[in-house]
Amino acid sequence: MLDKPSEKPRYYPHLTLEEAENLVEELQQLAVQLEEQAAELEVANEELSASEAHLRGIIGSALDAIITTDAQSQIIQWNHHGEAMFGWSAEEALGRNLNETIIPPQHREAHNRGVRRYLATGEGPILNRRIEITAIRRNGSEFPVELTVAPARWGTQVIFTSFIRDITERKRAERQLAARYAVTQVLAASGTIAEALPRMLEAICENLGWDMGVFWSADIQVGLLRPAHIVTAPSVESHEFEQMSHQLTFASGEGLPGRVWASRQPAWIADVTCDPNFPRHAVATRVGVHAGFAFPILAGEDFIGVMEFFQRAVAEPDRALLAAMGAIGSDIAQFIKRKQAEEQLQEQEGFQRFLARVGTKLAAATPDFTETLRKLASLAVPGLADWSIVCLTNEQGQIQRIETAHVDPAKAPVAQVTVRHRVESEEGHPLFQVLRTGQPVLLPEIPDALVETMAQNPEHLEMIRGLGMRSGMVVALRARDRTLGAIVLVSTESGRRFDKDDLEVAQEFARRAALSVDNARLYADAQEANQAKADFLATMSHELRTPLNAMIGYTDLLLLGIPEPLAKSAEEYVKRVALSARHLLQLIEEILAFSRLEAGRETVVLELVSLSELVSEAEAIIEPLAAEKGLSFRVDAPPESLQLRTDPRKVRQILVNLLGNAIKFTEAGEVAFTAHVEATQIVLTVSDTGMGIEPEHLSAVFEPFWQVQQTTTRTASGTGLGLSVTQRLVNLLGGSIAVESTPGAGTVFTVCLPFDSGEPGRDSSP
């Protein structure tokens, strides 16, 4: 019901009473309707207020920034999370242009273009879609966001509501995951550590957005970190910083890598130009390097190295990134340990093959002393080093001989002069330490002070430095408990850095080399002794042969009855004297022949001769000896027409030696000789029924001075040279000799000689 109006009722004189009553009734109904509508409107207002409050609560508590702008990009709504995300309060943000508040400069034109397009066409490429883009905070820092823009109409107005989510953490996690995946891919695809390290540095820089990476390798023996690999993004100009990093080493606690080594924990520097414990800060300031972090490469307790990264912007520590890099460092360490084990195994196999080749070449080398030294120097290059020096000492420990070899032939003369000057002028050299103590010396780094002591003058010093000596080893050549000399091994061109494993291989090489040197020296001494022996035997043999020839001549005269016939009793004694003299002369001839063969002075003088004549001459000499012992002597003489082109004197001596040897070791039975033709050679056979030779002694019968009866009570006389001389003469004539024997039943010697023994003047040296 409507309240009665307070003003005086208005009259409508033109209405009838009935019409007036109807009008009143309509007005009353209208009043009722108005009251109902007012009540509904009040309820609707209350619901709208509640809905607005609820919406404001949702927008206010949303985890995303919700920003509403009008068609001119003026901000008309800014929620609480927008304040937290961008650093602008709602009071500051409302009324500001979106371009000036959260859109980076590089995206502003695209934003304006998109708004104009929607206002003109009702369409837009990014509307009602989620996209990833970057935004800026109030402090100017740029960060990744996920953006959804929803357009709407508010009366006649167009508004845009942006839903913005900060995805910095997600992107960071994705980058870290991508970096670890990329490193894993590199580790799986790389065959060597040298191949993997630069690729890993590049993968981490690329996926994390850093500009430079350095791998510092730990040299535990000397307590230093050394730069092994450095990579830089193509867009970064930091040559000076990179060059300085190449030149530095760090001890534990020094610089960023040293701090990581000391703590074995990742470390972060927000701005290296302000860090007092950053030796490269001056260069970093010049080239614009700021933030840096590093993490250890650890495999259990084994510290392998440090990976270090830099960027051009200042950046606060990222603990999550450091933790992730610690896990990556563990993966890298396991890879390096595994590859080191594989490379060490391959290196050991390579060294074993190298040492096997060395042994083979040394075994095949001539025993010449000088040639052995040269071969040793060359064998070490490049298998062990780029530059090798072999030094030998005399009995007084003084340097006697020096041989060098260098991987670069152009540098060999400089190397040779440098070594000779150094070792002959001063004794402050590691070489003399090794010669004095016999203990090896390892120089992982050759100090410049040692290089300076090698120079004769400044010009020579520059030449030596041009050799590029980096690392060295000195090992002794020891054999039979004495130091024969030493081998110096130097790394130059290869840049190799020797370690204890290399030293072990060098010592094994030196052990084998020492045996070769000792054998060469012993051979040289033996050759000298053999020459002296041969000279002595030749001299004594000639001195003995002169009176023997006189004795034989006089006995022949006496047996001929000159100056008067001998009595029968005296004739027998003279015959025995003659026989003994001839036997002694034969022994002397053996000695002379042996000395000539040993000295390599025996030559072949070829003639066309009848074999039957040679056999007859040998038979005439041997038959009396067989008759004296009561032995049957059977000769199967070859045809008189059988001729050889050979050295008759040597064939005769071969026959006499073999037949005489058979007579000597046969006490009863028979000695037989046969000859027959086989293809292009003559086969001569001498057999006996003597004592025979034990099977284990057959291989020794041709050795000088060896006899079947080796005791001092042996019954057979002789020098023990007959069979040795015989074998050498047979070989000299291009033939062969073999022996078969049955102990207690006899022995058979078989000689095969060619019809043509070759060119005259053949040398007899072995």
> CB of 516 within 8 A of CB of 361?
no
Q: Are residues 388 and 506 in the same domain?
A: yes
* 706 falls within a domain: yes
Q: What is the CATH number of the domain that holds 522?
A: 3.30.450.40
Per the structure, the count of domains in the chain is: 4
Q: Which pLDDT value is given to residue 599?
A: 64
**111 in any annotated domain:** yes
Q: Is residue 53 part of a domain?
A: no
Q: Is 585 within the bounds of a domain?
A: no
The torsion angles phi and psi of 657, rounded to 5 degrees, stand at -65, -45
Asked whether residue 175 falls in the same domain as residue 260, the answer is yes
Low-confidence stretches of the chain (pLDDT < 70) are 1-15, 44-62, 346-369, 414-428, 534, 537-538, 540-542, 583, 590, 594-596, 598-601, 705-720, 758-766
Q: How far, in Å, CA of 631 to CA of 669, rounded?
A: 6
Half-sphere exposure of 42 (CA within 13 A, CB side): 6
User: Model's pTM, two decimal places?
Assistant: 0.49
- CB neighbours of residue 709 within 10 Å: 12
Angle, nearest 10°, between helix axes 568-599 and 722-732?
A: 50
Q: End of a domain among 337, 361, 392?
A: 337
Report d(CA 115, CA 103) in Å as an integer.
14
Same domain, 290 and 266: yes
How many residues in total does the chain contain?
766
- Tell me the C-alpha distance between 389 and 399, whole Å: 12
**Does residue 10 lie in a domain region?**
no
User: Does 175 lie in the same domain as 71?
Assistant: no
Residue 376 domain flag: yes
Contact between 279 and 254 (Cβ < 8 Å):
yes
Q: Is 111 exposed, middle or buried (0-12, 13-18, 19+ CB in 10 A)?
A: middle
Position 761 scores a pLDDT of 40
Show which of 504, 526, 548 is a domain's final residue: 526
* 192 and 93 housed in the same domain: no
- Tokens 């961008």 belong to which residue? 86
Q: Given this model, what pLDDT does residue 197 score?
A: 92
* The pLDDT value given to residue 361: 65
Per-residue pLDDT, 2? 42
Domain boundary among 337, 371, 401: 337
Residues paired with residue 471 on neighbouring β-strands, in sequence order = 491
Q: What per-residue confidence (pLDDT) applies to 21?
A: 78
Residues 130 and 106 in one domain: yes
Residues 237 and 355 in one domain: no
Query: What is the side-by-side strand order in the sheet with 302-310?
Result: 224-232, 212-219, 302-310, 292-299, 267-269
Assign residue 100 the CATH number of its domain. Answer: 3.30.450.20
Instruction: Give the DSSP per-residue string, 167-181.
Output: -HHHHHHHHHHHHHH
Query: Domain containing 631 — which CATH number?
Result: 3.30.565.10
Q: Which domain holds residue 697?
A: 602-754
- Bridge partners of 634, per DSSP, are 672
pLDDT at 721: 75
Contact 532, 540 (CB under 8 A): no
**Residue 762, in any domain of the structure:** no
Q: Is residue 557 part of a domain?
A: no
Q: Report which secondary-structure segment, H or E, holds 500.
A: helix 500-559
Q: Which of 399, 400, 404, 371 is nearest to 385 (CA)?
A: 404
The candidate with the shortest Cα–Cα distance to 662, out of 635, 686, 640, 679, is 686
243: tokens are 């060059």
The verdict on 88 and 229 lying in the same domain is no
CB 306 within 8 A of CB 216: yes
Q: Is there a single domain that holds both residue 606 and residue 729?
A: yes
Pair 718, 705 in one domain: yes
What is the number of other CB atoms lying within 10 angstroms of the CB of residue 522?
Answer: 14
Residues 732, 683 share a domain: yes
DSSP 662-694: HHHT-SSSEEEEEEEEETTEEEEEEEE-S----
From the list 492, 179, 473, the residue with the least C-alpha distance to 329 is 179
**pLDDT computed for residue 561 by the predictor:** 80
Residues 118 and 66 in one domain: yes
Peptide bond into 563 cis (omega under 30): yes
